[in-house]
Structure 1
């Protein structure tokens, strides 16, 4: 990834804007974070010791988990050079920022193991069904016994795999899409991001978004096939939902 020094004040503003964009897509994300925290502490009888956020982007969820559990070692995995640079600039030393491809076996070696909690929030829809199943097997291997996987994404009620483009639009979605486009457009206009954006184009040049959206039943079945004996719906907000899977 290019070595680019970013302005910390500007990075803080861009991360705050990213947070606004994401809650525009899924207004219930703050509630989901609270549920994840409460359930994790309940299962472990207190704070977790190791936490990992997959597809963690600029590190907002990882940062909040580190603040909630200051004694825990918190990390994030992502592949986007722009988002990784934002996370590294904002969170030096507070969060382990790992540049790794979740579709490549080597990511587990980079992440290590023994995690009490692994989250994947708005991440797996970028993958096709087969890589999601492989990812679930890999996550189970890096979880500690009794560890929890929380997958939150577009999970329609019909419990059948579909494609997001085929789903009916919902109120506010067009506004969120516009905000997403504007966020990236502002980065394109900033000279300091030019090397990172060039690197990003190379990373995603042959990596189209799958736009897969399986229902909770599909994800539960994939988790069982990966070796998770327990799973259940943790949260729902419109078409988005979170499934919790526990390693026994």
Structure 2
């Protein structure tokens, strides 16, 4: 549990993961657009787990019945509640509130860029909880899983390509240097990052009671990372 607490503390405090306002805006717009593409229909109930600032979740709310944004960081949840106060079908929930929801509460659950920050025990626990919360015909999207052979250079080049395509390349170059000496870098060295091959993660999903397929592309900007669609069995 200490791993989760340490990472939650990081995301709950000011940080420099996003190099400027353009970066954070483009990132969350792209993620929201991708999530909207997975929504099965206008009556769908969607959970964005570990959602972060989720600046553009209104994009998802336009194509779903309800959108629940959940993040373990209290400050992040406070920002989300303020940001989407006027959007009636967006709700904000803590992990504890999710645990109190009935089985089958969601038709789509998305966990993007989450599993790398979890111990294996924590991952298994969350998979069991997501399976409980999913409707029998629902889908779980687990995105941005990092394979063992994908390292810092892959992340760097992916960020620079993304920055060049979206108009913040100079800021990204400065941000790379800043991040190298940041608390994120120190915490990542201290705690490590969970990595899985495609076969390993498929096996984990199968053991947790899901069927699994690798999606054609990653939901995040680094194509070397992997996204999966999983469905509950039985």
Task: Please state which band the TM-score falls in when normalised by the shorter chain.
Answer: 0.5 to 0.7
Q: Structure 1-normalised TM-score?
A: 0.62
Which residue matches 1:231? 212
- Report the alpha carbon displacement of residue 49 of structure 1 after superposing the two structures with TM: 2.5
Preserved contact between residue 136 and residue 222 of structure 1 (Cα < 8 Å) = no
Instruction: Work out which of the residue numbers 171, 175, 179 in structure 1 matches 2:157.
Output: 171
Q: Structure 2-normalised TM-score?
A: 0.66
- Report the alpha carbon displacement of residue 168 of structure 1 after superposing the two structures with TM: 5.1
Which residue matches 1:63? 58
Which residue matches 2:165? none
Preserved contact between residue 133 and residue 226 of structure 1 (Cα < 8 Å) = yes
Which residue matches 2:25? 19
- Report the alpha carbon displacement of residue 53 of structure 1 after superposing the two structures with TM: 0.6
Q: List runs of 5+ in structure 2 lacking aligned partners.
A: 1-19, 161-171
The alignment partner of 1:213 has SS state of coil
Q: What whole-Å deviation, never above 9, does each CA across 1:45-93 have from its counterpart, x for those lacking one?
A: x334311010011233633211222xx1110111223322221111015
CA pair 97-15 structure 1, distance change in 2 beyond 3 A: farther
- Residue 84 (1) aligns with residue 74 (2): no
Cα RMSD of the aligned pairs, angstroms, is 3.4
How many matched pairs? 188
CA pair 141-176 structure 1, distance change in 2 beyond 3 A: farther
Which residue matches 1:132? 123
CA pair 180-132 structure 1, distance change in 2 beyond 3 A: farther
CA pair 56-216 structure 1, distance change in 2 beyond 3 A: same
The alignment partner of 1:211 has SS state of coil
Q: List runs of 5+ in structure 1 lacking aligned partners.
A: 1-13, 24-28, 101-105, 157-161, 186-204
C-alpha separation between the residues in 2 aligned to 1:179 and 1:86? 26
- Report the alpha carbon displacement of residue 112 of structure 1 after superposing the two structures with TM: 4.2
C-alpha separation between the residues in 2 aligned to 1:177 and 1:133? 37
- Report the alpha carbon displacement of residue 214 of structure 1 after superposing the two structures with TM: 1.5
Preserved contact between residue 127 and residue 209 of structure 1 (Cα < 8 Å) = no
